[in-house]
Amino acid sequence: MFVTYRKQNDSVGKVDAIYSNPEDFDLSNVDGFDIEEIPEAQAVAGTYSVLMVKLPSNELYYDYIAIQPTNSLEQLINENTLLKAQVKAQSEHSDFIDNVISELATQLYK
């Protein structure tokens, strides 16, 4: 296998790609090296793993990056308030339509 990477600094690179058949590609102008086996990432709760390279030893390892929550409590409260208002408006609209249908039916059967 052939691993390509982008240098982050003089001692670390981030893996870009892993080629199982490197002879099928022109890899002459990329930073990379041959390797027998890719290490397996550990499952660390609340993180995602990024395959990295220690330079110049070409040793593979994983960085574990914390997953940032996308919504704060305040955003969720605001969204909940908006959704409640939308549900109420939809319910009132539905009641109005029901009343119109009832009135039409009453007029039709007079």
Assigned token pair, 53: 């390279």
Tokens 């600094």, located at residue:
9
Residues 18/60, Cβ–Cβ less than 8 Å:
no
Q: What is the mean pLDDT of the chain?
A: 90
pLDDT at 70 over 80: no
pLDDT at 4 over 80: yes
Nearest to residue 7, comparing CAs of 23, 24, 31?
A: 31
In a 13 Å sphere around the CA of 66, the CA atoms on its Cβ side amount to: 3
**Amino acid type, 35:** I
Q: What is the pLDDT of residue 64?
A: 96
Find the mean pLDDT for residues 53-81: 89
Q: What is the pLDDT of residue 96?
A: 87
Q: What is the pLDDT of residue 17?
A: 92
Q: What is the pLDDT of residue 22?
A: 86
Residues 65/41, Cβ–Cβ less than 8 Å:
no
Tell me the sheet residues that pair with 19: 2
